[in-house]
Amino acid sequence: MILHLVQGTPQESVHALRSMLEAEGLRTFLSPESSRPIVAIVDKVPAALAAALAERPEVSEIHQPAGDWRLVDRSYRELPSVVRIGGVKLGGGQVSIIAGPCSVEGADFMFEAARAVRSAGAHLLRGGAFKPRSTPYAFQGFGVEGLRQLKDAGEREGLPVVTEIMDAADLPAFLDHDVDCLQVGARNMQNFTLLKAIAGAGRPVLLKRGLSATVKEWLYAAEYLAAGGCHQVVLCERGIRTFESATRNTLDLTILPLLREWTHLPVVVDPAHAAGIARLIPPLSRAAVAAGADGIAVEVHPRPELARSDGPQALLPGELAGLVAEARVIAAVTGRGLHALPASPR
């Protein structure tokens, strides 16, 4: 249950209400919302108490979430939340582009890739230092050295960086290298030990949908992060596993309008991992922006045929520039805009 209190309710009254609820054995959270106090009650509220709450003068509205999440529910905020990654915002009526190679492949390569990402007009630099691969014989990434190379390239071009964390034990290295956004990959969406560990790290988290996860399971994973103290969560739809084999996965754009009803979190779409075919990525990106995505995450590589992972789904730099230009047009048609580029350090 989520309680919207009357605007201007004194903090003393909010505290008294929460104290009363917690005396009844109910856990509560107070929204960071600034326009009005909003209180989420985590546990099931007895019918008699629910009726009493409805009669309290400071309670304006009572909302019941669609599932057993609270802090990521749409009614926990007055407006959809905006996540800030470095100088880039996700949400708030602007569209941002995340781009970069699947894997960090060397310092010089990352400088080249970062230049291409910035020149194309994308906003955040992605790249895998720790790589979860289906076969143990595939390239697993450069690890901590890859974090350094990614961050150095991002700083040179003035781009915040996003990269995947697979193990809670690696968190200190990600923080030491000042990674701007921690990505939880599809295979780790329900790694609850990892979610709990990174929730209190003070960094935004990009949470990818699991390979076969329902929307509810995905939001429960986001709730783990929010309950642990992370209020900067971005959801990322990257395709789900279905019977269809024509593409790598099946991109589920139907969930975009549904998520607008169920959660306040911004949503990014990754058409690359959904399609697995580079030529399909631009039209899928256009569709995602038209359907309301707050951002697009794609892979770009100057020489896809030499990529150490996911070369067939990597765009060329010129193709990325075209995608960014098209996203700007589609965003404008839908009453939004493309986020301004972070300031260049040069």
Comparing 298 with 138, the larger pLDDT belongs to 298
Residue 63 structure tokens:
């909302």
End-to-end CA distance of the chain: 50
pLDDT tens track for 215-246: 999 999 999 999 999 999 999 999 999 999 99
For residue 257, what pLDDT band results from cuts at 50, 70 and 90? Answer: very high
pLDDT for res 307: 83
**Which ranges of the chain would DSSP assign to H, the alpha helix?**
11-23, 47-55, 107-120, 144-157, 171-176, 192-199, 215-227, 255-262, 271-275, 281-290, 317-333
From the list 334, 255, 258, the residue with the least C-alpha distance to 289 is 334
Residue 100, pLDDT score: 97
97 pLDDT more than 90: yes
CATH of 83-338, one of 3.30.450.40, 3.90.1150.10, 3.40.50.11440, 3.20.20.70: 3.20.20.70
Looking up tokens 């139907």, which residue turns up?
A: 254
Q: Which of 79, 91, 76, 83 is nearest to 39 (CA)?
A: 76
pLDDT in tens, 17-35: 999 999 999 999 999 988 8
Q: What is the pLDDT of residue 298?
A: 98
Listed by start position, the domains of the chain span: 2-64, 83-338
pLDDT at site 134: 78
Give residue-wise pLDDT tens across range 98-108. 999 999 999 99
pLDDT score of 194 more than 80: yes
φ/ψ region of 46 (left if φ > 0, alpha if ψ in -120 to 50, else beta) reads beta
Which pLDDT band, with edges at 50, 70 and 90, does 133 fall under? confident
Give domain 2-64's CATH superfamily: Phospho-2-dehydro-3-deoxyheptonate aldolase; domain 1 (3.30.70.1140)
Q: Are strands 28-30 and 161-164 parallel, antiparallel or unpaired?
A: unpaired
Residue 314 has pLDDT above 90, yes or no: yes
Locate 256 and state its tokens.
Answer: 């975009």
pLDDT score of 306: 85
As a whole number, the mean pLDDT across the chain is: 95
Cα 32–Cα 203–Cα 77 angle in degrees, nearest 5: 25
pLDDT tens figures, 63-92:
999 899 999 999 999 999 999 999 899 999
Residues sharing a CB contact under 8 Å with residue 322, sequence separation 6 or more, in sequence order: 282
Q: Give every CB contact of residue 133 below 8 A, 6+ residues apart in sequence.
A: 139, 140, 309
pLDDT of 253 > 80? The answer is yes
Give CA–CA dist 313/191, Å, rounded: 26
Q: Which of 97, 154, 101, 127 is nearest to 324 (CA)?
A: 97
* pLDDT given at position 341: 85
- Which pLDDT value is given to residue 140? 76
- Report the alpha-carbon distance of residue 211 to residue 314 in Å, rounded: 20
